[in-house]
Structure 1
Amino acid sequence: MGVHDAPAWLLPAFARNVAEAGGTAPADEVRRTAEDLLERWTRPERHFHNLKHLVDVLARVDELDEEAHHPELVRLAAWYHGAVFDSAERKAYANKGGEDEAASAALAREQLTELGVPEANAQRVAALVQALVRHAPDPHDIDCAVLCDADLAMLATEPQRYKAYLHDVRSEYAHLPVEDYLRARVRILHKLLARPSLFVSPLAQPWEEPARQNVSAELQRIEKELARLDAQRAAQTADGDAPDASGTTTP
């Protein structure tokens, strides 16, 4: 899905959210900012954190927005939450992957201020984006909870969509060796399952059980694969150390 494939409602929706947040910039300037964001979301190195993911998060916000105090700010935060992304190896996958929340928050603050959004609202959007570093919102901050829940909602999809999600995430980190990626993924899954609850907002509670089922099943599959790799390595090491016919040890 490229910029030209973006749903027709996306640009008008962004403009509406900017206006609802107090933006005063001319329509053409708002449109240019939206197009810049779409260009970021449609770069070829993005296989999961792409325009489809943005649309999915916005759709999930729509499902939860009756709980939000300022849904327009939550939607703007969704637009910016992965605007800065780099899946290069220097961005360790186990350390939040390629999403750069700090840089994305700074971009939100800069661009929204340029669009005439009052400083307090621009700062609030930036704070919501920054909160996704931990995905552990204060349950009393319902806007933050809605954004975090919308971003994690992919965990609760039906098994086939979850499988496609895993394929896309792996594609983004194809430069990582298989075992490195799997061990990083295991650490992430253990952290998720250790949480008392994956979702915080009341309307997202039905997502809890399917999400835990998906994550647990994935963890079991990966642990089996890692056990297989460990056994394979042990067998190769044993073969390499076995004495040869002359009585010496093979290097």
Structure 2
Amino acid sequence: MGVNSVDAPQWFCSSFVRSARGAGATAPDEDLRAVGQSLLDRWDKPGRHFHNLRHLADVLGRVDELSQETHDPDLVRLAAWYHGVVFDAEDRAAYARKGGEDETASAALALTELEGLGVPDKAAERVAHLVNALVRHAPDPTDFDCAVLCDADLAMLASEPQRYKEYLNDVRDEYAHIPPADYVRARIAILTKLLERRSLFSSPLGAAWENPARQNVDAELQRLRKEQSKLAAAEASQGSSASTGATR
């Protein structure tokens, strides 16, 4: 089970305040906590079955695991807070962006809010840049901060089997309104592109997640291809039955 903004551990807001201070924020603590709570409320909106507070906690935890590889860990942590804060899984948005996360809008929100908290322009712009870099999950290998954020966001792919199964169920629940055949087709396309990449993870420490992630993704892809074949056969059977009925 994930956490919600009412029962969220106290460390959530404290973590945001520390990172904002580390980035140079000059606003009073109460203002920092108010923005942190606003972000928690966004992450906890109804319909966010996977891209929720549990995911935020997971990404922040992974960033901490890889923090020694970053140039500015506080900016990477702030980017984690904002990376999927603007989210809409409705059909139109999901198909337009091949996912509900709106990195461009999230980056713009980060820039506005962080500058409003007194974070220096250069630092706020850097956070926005990191958030935008998640659009393709193909970071510049020389940008260690970006590599760490991307790896932290993809780390779920390397989960142990039971957690990976929960992840798949949560993602499907987020897009429950999408017909099975359309969802399976889109998911297959995403997984195929992932497996075609030379590497899924870009940071040295993140490289340890490569093999388990590929095993999970490959196993899921095989299951989805079987499901796609069954769905196609069922559709063909229904079409045949309808045609036969029409000729009677």
Q: Sort the Cα spacing of 1:94 and 1:211 in 2 relative to 1 into closer, same or farther, 3 A.
A: farther
Distance 1:81 1:210 in 2: 24
1:232 and 2:230 equivalent? no
1:94 offset after TM fit, Å? Answer: 7.7
Q: Secondary structure at the match of 2:27?
A: coil
- Of residues 203, 207, 210, the one that matches 1:208 is 210
Q: Secondary structure at the match of 1:19?
A: helix
1:236 offset after TM fit, Å? Answer: 2.5
Equivalent residues in 2 for 1:103-122, closer than 5 Å:
103-122=105-124
| Equivalent residues of 2:71, 2:145 under 8 A apart | yes
Q: Which residue of 1 aligns with 2:128?
A: 126
Distance 1:80 1:143 in 2: 15
Distance 1:3 1:236 in 2: 46
Amino acid at match of 2:181: E
Distance 1:30 1:194 in 2: 42
- Of residues 5, 10, 13, the one that matches 1:11 is 13
Q: Percent identity?
A: 62
Q: Which residue of 2 aligns with 1:70?
A: 72
Q: Which residue of 1 aligns with 2:162?
A: 160
Greater helix percent: which structure?
2
Distance 1:156 1:169 in 2: 16
Distance 2:113 2:57 in 1: 20
Deviations 1:150-177 (A, max 9, x none): 0000000011100000000011111111
1:231 offset after TM fit, Å? Answer: 1.3
Q: What is the number of equivalent residue pairs in this alignment?
A: 246
Structure 1: segments with no counterpart, 5+ residues:
none
Amino acid at match of 1:135: H
TM-score scaled by structure 2? 0.96
| Equivalent residues of 1:93, 1:181 under 8 A apart | no
RMSD, aligned α-carbons: 1.3
Q: Which residue of 2 aligns with 1:83?
A: 85
Larger mean Cα displacement after TM superposition, 233-242 or 211-220? 233-242
| Equivalent residues of 2:157, 2:213 under 8 A apart | yes
1:239 offset after TM fit, Å? Answer: 3.1
| Equivalent residues of 2:26, 2:119 under 8 A apart | yes
Amino acid at match of 1:85: F
Structure 2: segments with no counterpart, 5+ residues:
none
Deviations 1:65-116 (A, max 9, x none): 0000000000000000011001111113483311000000000000000000
Q: Which residue of 2 aligns with 1:249?
A: 247
Amino acid at match of 1:37: L
Deviations 1:180-206 (A, max 9, x none): 111111111111111000000000111
Amino acid at match of 1:146: V
1:213 offset after TM fit, Å? Answer: 0.5
| Equivalent residues of 2:88, 2:94 under 8 A apart | no
1:36 offset after TM fit, Å? Answer: 0.4
TM-score scaled by structure 1? 0.95
Runs of 4+ in structure 1 off by over 4 angstroms are none
Larger mean Cα displacement after TM superposition, 117-126 or 175-184? 175-184
Amino acid at match of 2:177: H
Distance 1:240 1:144 in 2: 53
- Of residues 165, 176, 179, the one that matches 2:178 is 176
